[in-house]
């Protein structure tokens, strides 16, 4: 059985001292449960230090970046290239988060370009897809997220698709005031996403693409969500922003995996 991916993105939070305190708290539980694959995605200014802190403490925790340009270099002020990501030691690239789509003009097309660039440089794209509350109310949630996923994977060879991680994050479930998806909602969406992958690439490839659920994941609902078919991991928000809380969550999950 593949290790469950259990991770978090800090968004625009934490200074260097706060990040190192987080790493120290996580190190108290080293080695982390072998049946899980933790990951942490800090702000870019902290990625190298967090990566090195995990390595020094013997923590098997992947690191990533929250965004990346698709070009290797050029006149793109404020952007980060795949080569810069590799310099930090990070291996994951979060792409297409709903906040990037809403506030920074991310589109299905740029998500595809970034995913292809990440793969070209040996990085793992963590592609975020999700439906809005209005799309949920209109009954087009499945259509929306399948379209986003297919657009992100367009033009990729099947073996490249197998190196991608997909995170389903309903927009109405994320954030401080988000309401987590019910088990039935999460089950239905993950089954639909798996079926779409199977239809496009066959069962062998579909089985290799981890499907994560994200959106108001916490200590109370994590185990139930992970028990659902085709939920291969969790993309956690605030419940994992404290190192001790994240460690406890990992230990709790490990008892059932």
Residue 128 pLDDT: 99
Provide the number of structural domains found in the chain: 1
Please report, for the domain that includes residue 117, its CATH number.
3.20.20.70
Residue 166 pLDDT: 99
Residue 1 pLDDT: 58
Query: Active-site residue among 94, 106, 135, 169?
Result: 169
Please, are residues 37 and 3 in contact by the beta-carbon 8 Å criterion?
Answer: yes
Residue 2 pLDDT: 86
Residue 195 pLDDT: 99
Decide if 49 is catalytic. no
Judge if pTM exceeds 0.95: yes
Residue 176 pLDDT: 76
Question: Can you give the residue range of the structural domain that contains 236?
Answer: 4-255
Could you please report the per-residue DSSP string of 43-107? -HHHHHHHHHHHHHHT---EEEES---SSSSSS-TT---HHHHHHHT--EEEE--HHHHHHS---
Decide if 169 is catalytic. yes
User: Residues in the chain with pLDDT < 70?
Assistant: 1
Token pair of 32 as six digits: 């982390």
Query: Active-site residue among 97, 106, 135, 190?
Result: 97
């Amino acid at each position: 059985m593949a290790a469950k991916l259990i991770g978090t993105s800090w968004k625009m939070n934490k200074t260097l001292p706060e990040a190192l305190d987080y790493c120290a708290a996580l190190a108290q539980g080293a080695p982390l449960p072998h049946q899980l694959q933790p990951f942490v995605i800090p702000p870019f200014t902290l990625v190298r230090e967090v990566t090195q802190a995990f390595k020094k403490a013997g923590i098997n925790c992947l690191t990533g970046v929250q965004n990346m340009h698709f070009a290797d270099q050029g006149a793109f002020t404020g952007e980060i290239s795949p080569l810069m990501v590799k310099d930090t030691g990070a291996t994951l690239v979060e792409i297409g988060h709903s906040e990037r789509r809403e506030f920074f003009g991310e589109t299905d097309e740029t998500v595809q370009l970034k995913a292809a660039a990440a793969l070209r440089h040996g990085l793992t794209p963590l592609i975020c897809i999700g439906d809005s509350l209005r799309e949920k109310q209109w009954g087009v949630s499945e259509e929306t997220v399948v379209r986003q996923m297919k657009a992100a994977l367009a033009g990729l060879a099947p073996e490249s698709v197998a190196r991608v991680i997909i995170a389903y994050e309903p927009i109405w479930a994320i954030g401080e005031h988000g309401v987590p998806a019910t088990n039935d909602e999460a089950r239905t969406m993950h089954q639909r996403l798996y079926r779409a992958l199977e239809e496009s690439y066959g069962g062998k490839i579909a089985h290799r693409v981890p499907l994560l659920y994200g959106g108001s994941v916490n200590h109370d609902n994590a185990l139930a969500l992970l028990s659902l078919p085709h939920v291969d991991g969790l993309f956690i928000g605030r419940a994992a922003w404290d190192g001790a809380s994240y460690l406890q969550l990992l230990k709790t999950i490990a008892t059932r995996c």
